[in-house]
Chain A
């Protein structure tokens, strides 16, 4: 009952004309930018972060939630029509949806993805509403020890579960943690690794880092290595509407995907990739026409898309209730909170209930807006896909530099943007994942703070992490995730001489 009241007052906040409008603008902008090829949700959110800077916190976060949703949806459209997944969670959509589009069924593929996103988004926000107060109650019992351990788990999963190599994932994470060190130490006021440059005292801004890694790095990489290779956009022929049999084949995968995506996305070990792959596997198993999978089966788009969307809501649930971002996109959303001096977590539900519940209510509304916006506007999004590359990347760079320069009108931020862009270029070239860097740089300072608090409580005794039961359990899971896969791989490949050694993940 208490939750329902809180949610109702949240709706009162979200339904004001101004906030409805901001949500609408957010969803539109998010889709508009997210649909551009090569622009994934994390970059969309980072590019649009400056756009919210002059608003009040509630309005800005509501607009931001809209951007987040729009960006997710826009990414799916690109995957289906262009087969260039903007992030790993849409690989499956790209695979199956693009096959559908190749067979002239782009319309139903886009529709099942839009309606699936709506169904999954709504179901998972309902789950979020139900679960959030419980998680908040649990999280209120967390001390610094537990927080630090949960963050270690998040670090390990973000860097080892994705990407093709554990060593490179961890290297990326540690590089991010290092970036997070730069600036003034929050507890003692000491400058660290600023190399005497006054501009670095505030640390490196997340917009500069994310836009540098994702936009500048990616643009340099594309121009250097891939410009000669053209994309083929699949045309949307015939009706965009789904037939009766499409509906029949879609609704169960939507629901299954939602229930798969939300819990996994909401775990610190979650992310959106695992549920999408799981959903794909399950739908293939349950389908009456498994032979269609790989050639454009609608279940293979409906399920994973729903799972992806539900997982991204799960990630937001984790961020809101515990304050832990488990994806690069969520890490940038956390930075958006920090812009206003707000720290997401259990306390925020107490101190800013209207903001939190207004944000949750706006997610319900955002899902509806997304559906209303997307089905009729598919034609417009397709036009965006066919913008010639020189113009597209010229435009992306204008907004990338605007975002970096607009922070404090300093040329130094543009230099930083370029240097980080060069690093992003190298990471892309040598297959080092970028997401762990972003999560590391944002979560690193918070983790350090919790570590130091925990150790002051224990008077410097590190065994505190193993004597607290929750903390010990979490750390054991993290450790297993770290050593499990290599050992498993060794056992599995006994007949071959071990190639990867202890460092290669499967």
Chain B
């Protein structure tokens, strides 16, 4: 692996992931019960085809990754300085929202989500974010539950 242009490990990883998914699909297809149907081709055939396609494309992309990199990838200098802190804050925000929504309710969970996302994008105006988040979540809650008939959890604010 001493190719002249450096291997982008992300590309290799994505390609291996695809090939792996293809392999998993082919193997997993054998576990699908054919259900004894009358049809000429059962529920396994299409998954086999897709698994084979994923495996082949993953292979091609692996080969491209080790032989000079993926083709025609636009060079983007922004990729040199990833802001993983922001990535982490956003991820945490979404996962916290997932954990909180059922008991805290839509309005509180969404307001908190909003504040964290804004923080991830570098906002330092906490009061503004709380107010905007609260107004937006409350408005969305009433529009979707009252006018559009969607069911959203009221949670801690349910008694109000």
Contacts and interface: CB of A to CB of B under 8 A. Distances in A.
Nearest to B67: A501
A393 B120 CA distance: 10
A216 interface: yes
B108 interface: no
Given A190-B32, A224-B82, A429-B79, A167 B60 contact: yes
Contacts of B91: 220, 418
Contacts of B60: 167, 503
A248 interface: no
Contacts of B10: 426, 429-430
Contact of B46 (A50, A164, A181, A224): A181
A171 interface: yes
Contacts of B106: 402, 405
A3 interface: no
A394 B113 CA distance: 7
Contacts, number: 236
Contacts of A190: 32-35, 43
Contacts of B47: 181, 192-193
Given A167-B64, A224-B82, A409-B151, A185 B43 contact: yes
Contacts of A17: none
B142 to A, nearest CB: 12
Contacts of B93: 397
A460 B37 CA distance: 14
Contacts of B97: 401, 414
Interface string A361-402: 000000000000000000000000000111101110111011
Interface of A: 50-51, 53-54, 164-165, 167-168, 170-171, 174-175, 177-178, 181, 185, 187-190, 192-193, 216, 219-220, 222-229, 388-391, 393-395, 397-399, 401-402, 405-406, 409, 411, 414-415, 417-418, 421, 426, 429-432, 444, 448, 451-452, 455-456, 458-460, 499-501, 503-505
Contacts of B61: 167-168, 171
B150 A406 contact: yes
Given A193-B47, A402-B140, A503-B64, A430 B122 contact: no
A459 B40 contact: yes
Contacts of B98: 411, 414-415, 418
B83 A227 contact: yes
Interface in B102-133: 102, 106, 110, 113-115, 117-123, 129, 132-133
Q: Which 7 A-B pairs have the closest CB atoms?
A: A390-B118, A390-B123, A504-B71, A460-B40, A188-B35, A54-B149, A414-B98
A399 B64 contact: no
A187 B36 CA distance: 11
Contact of A500 (B42, B71, B133): B71
26 contacts: A53-B149, A54-B148, A167-B57, A167-B70, A171-B54, A178-B21, A181-B25, A187-B43, A190-B32, A192-B32, A219-B90, A225-B79, A225-B83, A228-B83, A390-B119, A390-B120, A394-B114, A401-B97, A401-B101, A409-B152, A429-B10, A444-B50, A460-B41, A499-B68, A503-B60, A504-B71
B95 to A, nearest CB: 6
Given A53-B150, A178-B54, A394-B133, A401 B72 contact: no
Contacts of B58: 171
A394 B41 CA distance: 48
A220 B87 contact: yes
Nearest to A51: B148
Q: What bracket does the count of chain B residues touching chain A fall in?
A: 35 or more
B23 interface: no
Which secondary structure characterizes the binding site on chain A?
A: helix
Contacts of A503: 60, 64, 71
B78 A223 contact: no
A224 B42 contact: no
B50 A397 contact: no
Contacts of B118: 390-391, 393-394
Contacts of A192: 32, 43, 47
